[in-house]
């Protein structure tokens, strides 16, 4: 604006004339477009009526509503030159600003009034061409009358869509299309459908070489033969199942799966999935291929499904409760699976006893993937690992490698209960999966290697590391609202994992080991094959408002001290950062006054809010006092000058003195 105010009056007048001329041309252009449009509408056959065949009868992929879906036709405004280009740009801006009115435009989540009950899924990954094809029949429970259904789909070419009603009759599909912004495949019906069970059938294809998430092709070189080998594998957490097949790709939907995979018939290839193989069909669907049918799964979320076609071999163990435990790797590396097979079977037995809940599947596979994007992934019954986190050789691996493998195996096996048997309801509660697994892994580790003092590693590896992050202004609460796939991916971080583990350790510290274990066992039994929530309903809108504090309620029930677990833990999970306790010795040295403030690494950003606490605790005159024994609490402590001097003197006098005792 200031630059324009300095223009000469002559130039201003000239600009006004040009502007008036352009406006006149623009109005004429718009009127021309309207006239042409009216003529086309009147002269076209059936003008003004919506055809029931407005999308391909096969339900094939068409564009987002309002966009050009192909062909060589252009718009009238696209042909206007000069001043008309200005008008076209303004019209496009108005179109972009159009309010989102359709249900599938307003929400990233699938409506709660539809629920996927079962998937009949067929997948044929062709590792030579790098493509895959598939079909899926999704049994959907509809609880409210509606005129459309949505599933998630991304990077899939859906070529056929059909819908069957509760009585088995076909339901007319008016239109089926991809709404790319929310990663939806939308199916509009000719007439509203009533409550009941419907089967949505889809044919689709995709690319195995797009990325290393979803269903993808991996490659390795066999060290014994020197040959390059392809395998097909998958990684679906958090929102990548929709890249492999159309599905209800949210953790609140638990469905059973009947899965069929196609593999090459020879060359050592096998097919693996979450459940054991039920039967195989040779030379199907064509010569040289084999159809592998798997047993029907337990109810599980889509991100836990896993599909692998490979030429790997395995080592096998059997647990105390007759679970077949196998560890797969490339043929030239399978000898390095012995340690993880021994440790994995042992930890599985320990977790069954600790949780008081049997492992619910008949088999547990673990497999080393050559180029796995994550450290590991807890697919139910088929855990995938990066090779360095599963393969151990006593001759060439370091002790750190051994500890790392044992810790990762323990973490992923803990997920078979926390995350798989009981699952978060939405991703804002990611810590319910990852925080628990990150803490419970140390218990599994301590069981198989009691000489390692496993929990002592939690302090530098988790607690101190995450405190450095949580002391910054860029941190976030453990429970964090998220909506989009990018937001969901971003919270797979140290706050969800390490801070989650640290506050659970603190909780166990003031509850007591046995009450904590009993509360966890009750929680797993009550919410088995279901979802759980720890958020407080007032702060989150939408479908989760009536569900809160599932975990805290179960822990409160077993607390002999009648502790208000929810009130205590909400302060740690729903706000970022942590406090520092300030201890000042009183006159005579018999007491300390304790105050607190938020701890921030940036001195200039320190919180100057007056402490709501002013508590006196006893002190030993002439002795030392250490608060936060064993560093169970998720906070720091700052003593006055005399307090630090007493601790320093104690260590200088005897550097082996145990400061964990609290005082002397």
- Residue 361: phi and psi, rounded to 5, are -105, 160
Of the candidates 208, 206, 157, 160, the one whose C-alpha atom is nearest the C-alpha of residue 178 is: 157
Pick the closest to residue 552 from 523, 584, 593, 582 (CA basis).
523
- Tokens for 636? 């720091």
Query: Residue 468 class from Cβ within 10 Å (0-12 exposed, 13-18 middle, 19+ buried)?
Result: exposed
Whether residue 655 is annotated as binding a ligand: the answer is no
pLDDT of residue 629: 84
Q: How far apart are CA 662 and CA 630, in angstroms?
A: 9
Asked if residues 367 and 391 have their Cβ atoms less than 8 Å apart, the reply is: no
Chain centroid to Cα 548, Å, comes to 20
412 in catalytic set: yes
Per-residue tokens: 626 = 């250490």
Cβ–Cβ under 8 Å, residues 635 and 580? yes
Pairing status of strand 228-235 against strand 214-221? antiparallel
d(CA 640, CA 319): 55
Q: What per-residue confidence (pLDDT) applies to 159? A: 98
C-alpha triplet 449, 453, 456: angle, nearest 5°:
140
Sheet holding 184-193, edge to edge: 146-152, 184-193, 173-179
pLDDT the model gives residue 521: 98
Summarize the chain as % helix, strand, coil (round to 5).
35, 25, 40
Cis upstream peptide for 238 (omega within 30°): yes
H or E segment to which residue 329 belongs: strand 324-329
Cα 18 to chain centroid, rounded: 56
411 annotated as belonging to a binding site for a ligand? yes
Set 352, 412, 441, 508: catalytic member: 412
The length of the chain in residues reads 664
556 CB-near residues (< 8 Å, 6+ apart):
519, 563, 564, 565, 566
pLDDT along the chain (664 residues), means of 10: 36 37 41 41 36 34 35 33 41 56 89 97 98 99 97 98 95 97 96 98 97 95 93 98 99 98 96 98 96 99 99 98 97 97 98 98 98 95 98 95 98 98 96 96 98 93 96 94 95 97 97 98 98 64 56 95 92 94 87 92 78 84 85 95 90 78 53
The pairing of strands 307-310 and 615-618 is: unpaired
Rounded distance between C-alpha atoms, residue 408 and residue 445, angstroms = 9
Q: Give the phi and the psi of residue 654 in degrees, each rounded to 5.
A: -150, 100
Give the SS3 label for residue 424.
Answer: strand
Residue 18 pLDDT: 39
Task: Give Rg (Cα) of the chain.
Answer: 31
Q: Which domains does the chain have, with CATH numbers?
A: 106-311 (2.60.40.1730), 312-419 (1.10.390.10), 423-574 (1.10.390.10), 578-661 (2.60.40)
Residue 603 is predicted with a pLDDT of 80
- Per-residue burial over 581-593, b = 16 or more CB atoms within 10 Å of its CB, e = otherwise: bbbebeeeeebbb
Distance CA 583, CA 654 (A): 24
Residues sharing a CB contact under 8 Å with residue 478, sequence separation 6 or more, in sequence order: 431, 435, 495, 496, 499, 500, 503, 572, 573, 574
Q: Is 616 annotated as a binding residue?
A: no
pLDDT of residue 518: 98
Q: Is the pTM of this model over 0.85?
A: no
Q: Which residues contact 451 (CB under 8 A, 6 or more apart)?
A: none
Distance CA 191, CA 76 (A): 34
């Amino acid at each position: 604006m200031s630059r324009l105010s300095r223009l000469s009056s002559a130039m201003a007048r000239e600009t006004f004339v040009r502007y008036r001329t352009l406006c006149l041309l623009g109005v004429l252009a718009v009127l021309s477009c309207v006239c042409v449009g009216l003529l086309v509408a009147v002269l076209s056959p059936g003008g003004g009526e919506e055809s029931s065949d407005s999308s391909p009868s096969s339900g094939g992929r068409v564009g987002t509503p309002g966009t050009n879906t192909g062909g060589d036709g252009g718009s009238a405004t696209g042909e206007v030159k000069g001043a008309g280009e200005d008008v076209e740009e303004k019209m496009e801006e108005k179109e972009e600003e159009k309010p989102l009115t359709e249900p599938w435009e307003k929400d990233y989540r699938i409506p709660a009034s539809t629920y996927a009950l079962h998937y009949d899924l067929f997948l044929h990954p062709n590792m030579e061409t790098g493509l895959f094809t598939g079909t899926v029949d999704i049994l959907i429970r509809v609880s409210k009358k509606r005129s459309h259904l949505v599933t998630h789909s991304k990077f899939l070419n859906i070529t056929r869509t059909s819908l069957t009603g509760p009585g088995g009759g076909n339901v007319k599909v008016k239109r089926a299309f991809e709404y790319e912004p929310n990663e939806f495949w939308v199916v509009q019906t000719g007439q509203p459908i009533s409550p009941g069970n419907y089967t949505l059938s889809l044919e689709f294809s995709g690319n195995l070489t797009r990325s290393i998430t979803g269903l993808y092709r991996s490659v390795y070189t066999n060290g014994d033969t020197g040959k390059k080998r392809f395998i097909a594998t998958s990684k679906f957490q958090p929102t990548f199942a929709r890249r492999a097949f159309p599905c209800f790709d949210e953790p609140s939907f638990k469905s059973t799966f009947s899965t069929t995979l196609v593999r090459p018939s020879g060359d050592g290839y096998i097919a693996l999935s979450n459940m054991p193989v039920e039967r195989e069909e040779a030379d199907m669907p064509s010569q040289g291929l084999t159809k592998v049918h798997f047993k029907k799964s337990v109810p599980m979320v889509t991100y836990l499904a896993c599909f692998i076609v490979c030429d790997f071999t395995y080592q096998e163990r059997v647990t105390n409760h007759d679970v077949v435990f196998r560890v797969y790797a490339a043929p030239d590396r399978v000898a390095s699976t012995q340690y993880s097979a021994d440790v994995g079977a042992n930890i599985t037995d320990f977790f069954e006893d600790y949780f008081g809940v049997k492992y619910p599947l008949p088999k547990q596979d673990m497999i080393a993937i050559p180029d796995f994007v994550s450290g590991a992934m807890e697919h139910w019954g088929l855990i995938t690992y990066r090779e360095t986190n599963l393969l151990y050789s006593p001759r060439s691996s370091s002790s750190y490698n051994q500890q790392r493998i044992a810790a990762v195996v323990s973490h992923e096996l803990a997920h078979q209960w926390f995350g798989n048997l009981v699952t978060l309801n939405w991703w804002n509660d990611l810590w319910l999966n990852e925080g628990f697994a990150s803490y419970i892994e140390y218990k599994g580790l301590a069981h198989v290697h009691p000489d390692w003092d496993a929990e002592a590693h939690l302090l530098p590896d988790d607690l101190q590391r995450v405190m450095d992050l949580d002391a910054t202004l860029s941190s976030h609460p453990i429970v964090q609202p998220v909506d989009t796939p990018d937001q969901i991916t971003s919270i797979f971080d140290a706050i969800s994992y390490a801070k989650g583990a640290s506050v659970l350790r603190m909780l166990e510290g003031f509850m007591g080991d046995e009450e904590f274990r009993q509360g966890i066992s009750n929680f797993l039994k009550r919410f088995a094959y279901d979802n759980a929530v720890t958020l407080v309903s007032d702060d989150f809108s939408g479908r989760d408002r009536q569900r809160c504090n599932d975990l805290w309620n179960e822990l409160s029930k077993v607390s002999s001290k009648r502790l208000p677990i929810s009130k205590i833990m909400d302060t740690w999970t729903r706000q970022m950062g942590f406090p520092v306790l300030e201890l000042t010795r009183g006159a005579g040295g018999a007491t300390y006054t304790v105050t607190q403030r938020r701890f921030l690494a940036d001195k200039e950003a320190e919180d100057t809010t007056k402490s709501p606490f002013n508590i006196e605790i006893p002190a030993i005159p002439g002795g030392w006092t250490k608060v936060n024994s064993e560093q169970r609490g998720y906070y720091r402590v700052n003593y006055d000058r005399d307090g630090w001097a007493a601790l320093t003197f104690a260590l200088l006098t005897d550097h082996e003195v145990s400061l964990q005792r609290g005082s002397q």
